[in-house]
């Protein structure tokens, strides 16, 4: 009895004196771990007679409960202290003078979108936009993704609740519906192609981890004209990627793929090489130490899509492509966690942000 109360007093004194979470964890293992003292005492209960157990059991159980409770209490206190220390070191001074001037800078996503607009403007593309709240027709059906198509499930769509007599609405899962809206508006206004547009913007999918956020950015490209071929597509993407990564040695690899809205479809990889252990975009991905990174989805616009928009696919052909703007920014500027893009943390922006005066121009180099 007295031995147990002495043990209890000693353990609790040690626990209360533990000044780090590591030290506390050491004490926990020493008492309650597989070979801990308290665990050892609990094991002796099995070998006792019922009478002996009735006498010695309660103080041993009490020892275990008291030690467990003391550890939990000390752990909470240490964690609270760590949090307080962090909050104190990270505090924002709300009394800073208002005349300090804006602290923000241009976000990497905005910068990359400006770079893309600049590059494609030079190739004769204009910028088109569409609504982020879309209907089924533009986001799926007109893009040759009918109701039963498995691609619908793959898009992890955010749907709005059904409303009596209303079209089913959703948050667009890609910028491809802007292809449809652009072709439709050409037809509606009696304008004839050529069409050359890019469509940057926000898209939404119910997905979240280090490389996926529920809202992210895509850019879409669409060209509709007569006699357009895969060669035009490849040249355009090569020219774009050379300007974007500011390197002449960009090597593309076109892989056959499948998208409902293009036929044939190709996924586009760019080669990278290892420089000081870092992946650097450029060079032949098949060279030793090199590899390929997927950067774009693309293809020749499916004739069913052209038809759905009211154009004659025997007369008009084209190509389309789509890619993630956030991912392009990560590749170009070496960021590794997509979630930081949307934290609104001024420290991140100070590190990765761009000056408002640093407007990308082709002649000056679209890089920062």
Which residues 277-306 are close enough to bind ligand DAH by CB under 6 A? 297-299
Nearer to ligand DAH, 213 or 298 (CB): 298
Nearer to ligand DAH, 145 or 281 (CB): 145
Can residue 262 be called a binding residue for ligand DAH (CB under 6 A)? yes
Name residues whose C-beta falls within 8 Å of residue 96's C-beta, 6 or more positions apart in sequence: none
Report the nearest approach of ligand DAH to the CB of residue 315 (Å): 20
Nearer to ligand DAH, 204 or 259 (CB): 259
Report the nearest approach of ligand DAH to the CB of residue 260 (Å): 9
Q: Strand 215-225 vs strand 317-324: parallel, antiparallel, or unpaired?
A: antiparallel
Q: Comparing C-alpha atoms, which of 197, 199, 317 is closest to residue 263?
A: 317
Can residue 217 be called a binding residue for ligand DAH (CB under 6 A)? no
Nearer to ligand DAH, 273 or 302 (CB): 302
Report the nearest approach of ligand DAH to the CB of residue 262 (Å): 4
Structure tokens at 300: 């020749």
**Residue in the shown chain whose Cβ atom is closest to ligand DAH:** 322
Nearer to ligand DAH, 14 or 220 (CB): 220
Provide φ and ψ at 4, rounded to 5°.
-70, -40
Nearer to ligand DAH, 117 or 233 (CB): 233
Report the nearest approach of ligand DAH to the CB of residue 42 (Å): 57
Report the nearest approach of ligand DAH to the CB of residue 70 (Å): 55
Nearer to ligand DAH, 67 or 219 (CB): 219
Q: What x-and-dash track marks residues 302-331 binding ligand DAH by CB under 6 A?
A: ------------------xxx---------
Can residue 220 be called a binding residue for ligand DAH (CB under 6 A)? yes
Size of the residue set binding ligand DAH (CB under 6 A): 11
Among 139, 157, 176, 302, binds ligand DAH (CB under 6 A): 176
Report the nearest approach of ligand DAH to the CB of residue 222 (Å): 7
Task: Confirm or deny that 263 is annotated as ligand binding.
Answer: yes
Report the nearest approach of ligand DAH to the CB of residue 297 (Å): 3
**Where do contacts with ligand DAH occur on this chain (CB under 6 A)?**
174, 176, 220, 259, 262, 297-299, 320-322
Annotated binding site: 263
Annotated binding site for Mg(2+): 263
């Amino acid at each position: 009895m007295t031995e147990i109360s002495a043990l209890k007093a000693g353990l609790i004194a040690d626990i209360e004196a533990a000044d780090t979470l590591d030290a506390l964890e050491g004490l926990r293992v020493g008492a309650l771990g597989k070979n801990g003292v308290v665990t050892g005492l609990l094991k002796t209960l099995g070998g006792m007679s019922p009478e002996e157990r009735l006498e010695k059991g309660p103080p041993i159980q009490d020892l275990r409960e008291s030690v467990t409770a003391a550890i939990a209490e000390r752990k909470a206190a240490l964690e609270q202290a760590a949090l307080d220390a962090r909050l104190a070191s990270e505090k924002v001074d709300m009394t800073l003078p208002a005349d300090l001037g804006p602290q923000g800078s241009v976000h990497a996503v905005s910068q990359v979108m400006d770079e893309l607009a600049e590059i494609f403007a030079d190739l004769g593309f204009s910028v088109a936009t569409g609504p982020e709240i879309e209907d089924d027709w533009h986001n799926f059906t007109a893009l040759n993704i009918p109701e039963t198509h498995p691609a619908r499930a793959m898009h992890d769509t955010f749907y709005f609740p059904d409303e009596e007599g209303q079209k089913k609405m959703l948050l667009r899962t890609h910028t491809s519906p802007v292809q449809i809206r652009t072709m439709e508006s050409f037809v509606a206004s009696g304008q004839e192609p050529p069409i050359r547009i890019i469509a940057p913007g926000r898209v939404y999918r119910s997905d979240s981890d280090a490389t996926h956020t529920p809202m992210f950015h895509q850019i879409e490209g669409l060209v509709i004209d007569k006699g357009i071929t895969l060669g035009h597509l490849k040249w355009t993407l090569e020219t774009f990627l050379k300007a974007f990564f500011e390197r002449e040695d960009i090597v593309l690899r076109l892989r056959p793929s499948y998208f409902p809205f293009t036929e044939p479809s190709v996924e586009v990889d760019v080669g990278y090489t290892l420089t000081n252990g870092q992946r650097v975009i450029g060079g032949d991905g098949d060279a030793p130490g090199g590899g390929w990174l997927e950067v774009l989805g693309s293809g020749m616009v499916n004739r069913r899509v052209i038809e759905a928009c009211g154009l004659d696919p025997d007369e008009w052909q084209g190509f389309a492509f789509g890619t993630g703007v956030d991912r392009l920014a990560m590749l170009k500027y070496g960021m590794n966690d997509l979630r930081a893009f949307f934290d609104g943390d001024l420290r991140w922006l100070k590190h990765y942000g761009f000056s408002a005066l640093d407007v990308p121009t082709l002649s000056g180099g679209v890089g920062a």
